[in-house]
Amino acid sequence: MIQPIRRSIHTLLLLTLLTGCATQAPVSPTPEADQHPGLERPIPYPIDIPQRYLQALEGGTRSESGEPGESYWKNRSSYDLKAELDPETDTIHGSAGIRWVNRSPDTLDRLLLEVNQNLHAQGTLRKEWVEVTGGMQFEQIQVNGTDVEEINRQGGAPPRQGYLVDATRMLILLEEPLAPGESVDLSMSWNFKVPEVGAGGRMGRSRDNLYYIAYWYPKVAMYDDVEGWFVDPFLGNAEFYHEFSDYQLEITLPDDWLVMGSGEFLNPEEVLAPHVLERYRNAIGSDEVVQVVTEADLGVATQRTEDRMLTWRFTADKIRDVAFSATQESVWDATRAPVGDLDGDGETDYTHIHSFYRNTAPYWTDQAAYARHSISFLSDYLEMPYPWPHMTSVEGEDIIGGGMEFPMITVMGSYNQAGPQQLHGVTAHEFAHMWVPMIVSTNERRYTWMDEGMTTFNTHQAMVDAYPDDYPTMDLFYSYLGIAGTDLEGPMMRWSDFHYPGPAYGVASYPKPASVLQALKTVLGEETFLEAYHTFLREWEWKHPYPWDFFSTVERVSGEELDWFWRSWYYETWVLDQAVRDVQNHEGYAVIVLEDIGRVPMPVDLRIELEDGTVMQERVPVNHWLDGSARIEWRVETGSPVMSVTIDADEQLPDTDPDNNRWERP
């Protein structure tokens, strides 16, 4: 349910000051088929590119070749975060010291922050039902050591300095503008009640023995070279677009809870009981899974203090976000996973694998092994070693059914109903997010297909590696083909939160973009595709790509002009439906009659079987469709009559009607 947004002069001030960054380029002309009715099919026309992206090209921060431009920049920030969790009241008391450095060429007179826990505040605009807990209650806000007050919502001229909270956004007006190269120091304290199922199932609490805490602190919003301040609110659906920051994290809570969080675990000797500490040290150097905390250890796994409180410390550089878990009745498995040569010294490097789960999740006894496989495989497949000290999985049944990723830590359901292979799959999926968007930092709130689609594609590769007989390529296509070409589908380039209700958002974000990457691999060939894919990931590592950076990179590496591909698959809801209509055998040759019933033009890969047992492979180039034709007579030189012709015999493309892909001689 979407509740009405509250309006005031100050809400309008926030919106009018900040929304100038969302201008789109004019819509391109209608397809050629509409302008020229004599054509049999629409000809893909040039793709739409927003004016602000074109301005970034002109400004040299991005390049027409898809690489970051010579003038590319990104801002920098550091966070000193402290959280005290009170299990008696389910309340977080938090504080933050934030230093934000303006590395843009612009002088800024305001800051925009995200306060996404306010999804749970009364009156917040959102796309789904959530528990109303009151959201974040701010106790103090300082700018450069000076207290600032909330802007009066009753009207009048806004002050020179102050702050305004509008749902999941906070605006801070600066008394002194922030010039390029200058920094600002913020200090904040707040509290909120932890919802049972928070932020759309991305955080919460379960059975009085588990917390998974995310979306829990104020974070300076993204300011980039294309949009300026990224102003889109969090509505509970599409996720985040964040800059890379350095973090110091302290979590304090009663001393009978186990904690793990984003970042290097700094003080295990201060918080773990001696026997658990010894197992922990053994486990992180072991190629076998070691149970660090058993059920017999529950309640005695941690140190005891005089005030019955413990503080757990973590640190991380250059990550997008931090989250943490606190568990009271979860066992803890750990091992290590090889990730390749991370530091270039010629030696194999490792990351620590941690798995926390309760005895109500029996399949999780193998989850650490799934995690180890996923991290190692993805490091190798993506040619980008996992860069952080650990990867942690937390079983959070009741909070989430699937999974949700944050840097170095993910929460997932028990998978009791789905089974162990599906648990392996969700593990691979959430871990694949450590590359996109946690390293290659895409904008999930606008273009969810970039991170979820690439991740779904990468997950499939991991599962093929683990279960080669169980994951045919067609597995990528089924969910997309279920609505392909119907009114239930929406174009992938539609901004994520603006899809029509129903399956449109999910399909355009997950299975369709994964299917389209597979189609792109088929067009380019696996070697060229992987070269382009790896080039994009490598060049945009620790940066913030837009869709057109990806498109241009693929074209540069492949040497192909692919506007027809981007328009057909990404901007439209056209479908692929190729058919063999007839085969005419002649002396020494055959004519194969092909039709393209769908609107997506693609090369046609033919498997031709001759009477003498010869098998031929032919590719009909895509340009035969790009003149507006929907029918081709393709001549093949043969030494024997054609017995059968099959389009896409290996089922590598998401064709909506495979039944018409085969012809057999009567």
Element (H, E) at 248: strand 245-254
Residue bearing tokens 């009607």: 657
User: Could you report the average pLDDT of every consecutive run of 10 residues in the chain (666 residues)?
Assistant: 27 31 34 52 91 98 98 98 98 98 98 98 93 97 95 72 94 96 98 96 96 98 98 95 98 98 98 98 97 97 96 98 98 98 95 98 98 98 98 97 97 97 98 98 97 98 97 96 95 95 95 98 98 98 98 98 98 97 96 96 98 97 94 95 97 97 96
**Residues near 602 by beta carbon (within 8 Å), at least 6 away in sequence:** 519, 523, 576, 578, 622, 625, 653
d(CA 446, CA 47): 17
Q: pLDDT tens for residues 82-97?
A: 999 999 999 999 999 9
d(CA 418, CA 635): 49
Residue bearing tokens 């591909």: 565
Q: Both tokens of residue 148? A: 């600032």
Please list the residues that pair with 251 across neighbouring strands: 83, 312
d(CA 394, CA 353): 11
Whether 221 contacts 184, CB under 8 Å: no
Residues counted in the chain: 666
Among 511, 484, 494, smallest CA distance to 598 is for 484
Among 403, 515, 424, smallest CA distance to 466 is for 424
Dihedral in degrees, nearest 10, Cα atoms 645, 650, 651, 657: 10
Q: pLDDT tens for residues 539-584?
A: 999 999 999 999 999 999 999 999 999 999 999 999 999 999 999 9
* pLDDT for the residue numbered 156: 67
Residue bearing tokens 């509290």: 191
Whether 400 contacts 201, CB under 8 Å: yes
Q: Is 206 helix (H, G, I), strand (E, B) or coil?
A: strand
* pLDDT for the residue numbered 7: 30
d(CA 505, CA 499): 5
Element (H, E) at 57: helix 51-59
* pLDDT for the residue numbered 15: 31
* pLDDT for the residue numbered 155: 67
Please list the residues that pair with 407 across neighbouring strands: none
Among 102, 351, 98, smallest CA distance to 248 is for 98
Amino acid (one-letter) located at 499: H
Whether 128 contacts 120, CB under 8 Å: no
Q: CB-hemisphere CA count at 13 Å for 268?
A: 16
Phi, psi of 559 (to 5 degrees): 75, 15
Q: pLDDT tens for residues 100-112?
A: 999 999 999 999 9
* pLDDT for the residue numbered 79: 98
* pLDDT for the residue numbered 27: 33
Q: How far is CA 545 from CA 182, 188, 432, 450, in A?
A: 25, 31, 17, 10
Residue bearing tokens 């990730």: 339
pTM assigned to the model? 0.93
* pLDDT for the residue numbered 205: 98
The answer, yes or no, to whether the previous bond of 50 is cis (omega within 30 of 0) is no
* pLDDT for the residue numbered 152: 79
Q: Both tokens of residue 363? A: 């399949």
- Per-residue b/e over 635-656, b at no fewer than 16 CB within 10 Å? ebebeeebbbbbbbbeebbbbb
d(CA 512, CA 483): 10
- Strand arrangement of the beta sheet that strand 162-166 belongs to: 162-166, 169-178, 108-114, 219-220
Whether 570 contacts 648, CB under 8 Å: no
**Residues near 414 by beta carbon (within 8 Å), at least 6 away in sequence:** 357, 360, 361, 363, 364, 395, 397
In eight-state DSSP terms, residue 234 is P
Phi, psi of 516 (to 5 degrees): -70, -35
Is the Cα dihedral 244, 246, 251, 257 positive or negative?
A: positive
Whether 98 contacts 77, CB under 8 Å: yes
Element (H, E) at 507: helix 504-509
